[in-house]
Amino acid sequence: MTPALPILVVEDDAALREAVCDTLELAGLAVVSAGGGDEALQVLAGRTVSLVVSDVRMRPIDGIALLKEIRSRHPYLPVVLMTAFADVDRAVEAMRAGACDFLLKPFEPKALLDHVQRYRLPEVHDDERAIAIDPVSVNLFALAGRVAQSDSTVLLTGESGVGKEVVARFIHQHSARSKGPFVAINCAAIPDSLLEATLFGYEKGAFSGAQHAQAGKFEQAQHGSLLLDEITEMPLGLQAKLLRVLQEREVERVGGKQPVVLDIRVIATSNRDMADAVATGHFREDLFYRLNVFPLLIPALRQRGEDIVPLARHFLAEHGARAGRPGLRLSAAAEVALRQHAWPGNVRELENVMQRAVILAPGDRVERDALHLAAAAAPLAPGAAPALETAMPATPAAAPAAAPRKANKMSEVEREHILATLASVGGSRTLAGQRLGMSERTLRHKLRQYRLGGFLKA
């Protein structure tokens, strides 16, 4: 549950600043104010707002300079400028610099409220899993809220476990299709031989065992949204058929002759570098551009640190309620440990940690020890059942022998985490995939890349 984001009013005329703030507050909106550009930047450095309403004529930093500074620091934050008629030329300059709109002084309260309603960032309040406290997350869900109002195809990318499906569901729930179905299919989890029939459906007798007709995922998502999860795992031959479906907006069942016209929004996700997948021939370039209408990169959990504790509290409450332990809460030391952890497994790893804490915490207070963030995982002997410690998700600290060298790129962090996890389960790709939250096919692909790069012995 995200608290309401305030509107920042920037005006050096105290009387006008108070009037604008009063108008917004009487409309039930949260407001913060600043008497100039410097003060406004200080406010933005310490908190997230949903909109900036600023005067143009201010000293020493005027509205145009403030706008440009906001654009460099907070590129997705909407800005509306207030200007006198004599400054219309400057207002045009402001629009070119990235302002959403401008208000000509004097203006009626209704004009101000109309602009606020039109441009402020949407609140993330009706999806308990869409927790956005960190400014990075607020910007992400602001963009997701805006694209939800259109019917554009969306491509969500990011590391495994960052919450791509949560964002996809948020887009669906905030769209005009929210009353329609949300259908998700993991392209990596279905064998290649069955994926086409699963996606497109089939007619009776289309192949051995097809005893009755079956609508595919595209048809099941009619008037709603279809999530194609891990799209880069789709075979190349099927990618060509998918491209045609997206171009023609109609699907033909396997063994069928009559196309079905589609009315759906397509959302695709991938935890791989799409450009690299195209360059190496694993993904069709034309399909990439067809999907990449509105790309959204989901930041890793370590890049949105202010979300860590709120997410942990949410998962603790959720899993605690299921386990009959609704009163669980985190200690201050546990919260510090959560903030300091690297979270290579992202939100999925955090949820696993909190689920584990529900089991291990002896009382209503979850202490640091119950998190087991540095739990060492010993390699399993062949046929041995995993003990509690070895069943826990591996972290970078779980690597046997020497700790891996310090990584300075996300790809290196991911590689070291994958190889450490693989070593901790005695080389079992199945167990490693389960701990990483990654399909065995994706893991095989990554390991092949590591072998080619000399990071893994053949």
Q: Which of the two residues, 88 and 38, has the higher pLDDT score?
A: 38
Residue 188 CA to residue 443 CA, distance in Å, equals: 11
The pLDDT of 97-103, averaged and rounded, is: 81
The pLDDT of 406-435, averaged and rounded, is: 71
pLDDT for 391 equals 33
pLDDT for 87 equals 62
pLDDT for 189 equals 87
pLDDT for 404 equals 40
pLDDT for 437 equals 67
278 residue type, one letter: V
Q: Return mean pLDDT, the chain.
A: 83
pLDDT at 177 over 50: yes
Residues of the chain with CATH 3.40.50.2300: 7-119
Q: Considering Cα of 76, then 348, then 316, then 128, what sign does the dihedral take? A: positive
pLDDT for 127 equals 57
pLDDT for 102 equals 84
The pLDDT of 336-341, averaged and rounded, is: 94
Q: Which of the two residues, 393 and 180, has the higher pLDDT score?
A: 180
pLDDT for 86 equals 58
Q: Which CATH class is domain 7-119?
A: alpha beta
Residue 128 pLDDT level (bands cut at 50, 70, 90)? low
* 227 in Cβ contact with 182 (< 8 Å): yes
Of these ranges, 47-56, 163-172, 209-218, 380-389, the one predicted with the greatest mean pLDDT is: 163-172
pLDDT tens-digit map of 212-266:
888 889 999 999 999 999 999 999 999 999 999 999 999 988 888 888 999 999 9
* 77 in Cβ contact with 104 (< 8 Å): no
Residues of the chain with CATH 1.10.8.60: 302-371
Residue 101 pLDDT level (bands cut at 50, 70, 90)? confident
* 271 in Cβ contact with 442 (< 8 Å): yes
pLDDT at 152 over 50: yes
pLDDT for 378 equals 34
pLDDT at 409 over 90: no
Residue 205 CA to residue 213 CA, distance in Å, equals: 8
The pLDDT of 366-383, averaged and rounded, is: 62
pLDDT tens-digit map of 283-326:
999 999 999 999 999 999 999 998 999 999 999 999 999 999 98
Among 70, 51, 67, smallest CA distance to 138 is for 51
Q: Considering Cα of 275, then 280, then 282, then 285, what sign does the dihedral take? A: positive
pTM, whole model, 2 decimals? 0.65
**Right CATH number for 135-299 from 3.30.365.10, 3.40.50.300, 3.20.20.70, 3.40.50.720?**
3.40.50.300
Q: Spell out a b/e string for 98-119, using b for 16 or more CB atoms within 10 Å of the CB, else e.
A: ebbebbeeeeeeeebeebbeeb
Work out the end-to-end distance of the chain between its first and last CA atoms, rounded to an integer number of angstroms: 48
Q: Is 401 left (phi over 0), alpha (psi -120 to 50) or beta?
A: left
CATH of domain 302-371: 1.10.8.60
pLDDT > 70: percent of the chain? 86
Residues of the chain with CATH 3.40.50.300: 135-299
Q: Which of the two residues, 211 and 272, has the higher pLDDT score?
A: 272
What is the crossing angle of helices 88-97 and 63-73, to 10°? 10
Strand partners for 42: none
Q: Spell out a b/e string for 310-333, using b for 16 or more CB atoms within 10 Å of the CB, else e.
A: bbbbbbbbbbbeeeebeebebeee
Site of tokens 């460099």 = 72
* 139 in Cβ contact with 77 (< 8 Å): yes
Greatest C-alpha distance within the chain: 81
Q: Which of the two residues, 81 and 135, has the higher pLDDT score?
A: 81
- Give the pair of three-digit tokens for residue 264: 């759906």
pLDDT for 85 equals 64
Residue 72 CA to residue 92 CA, distance in Å, equals: 19
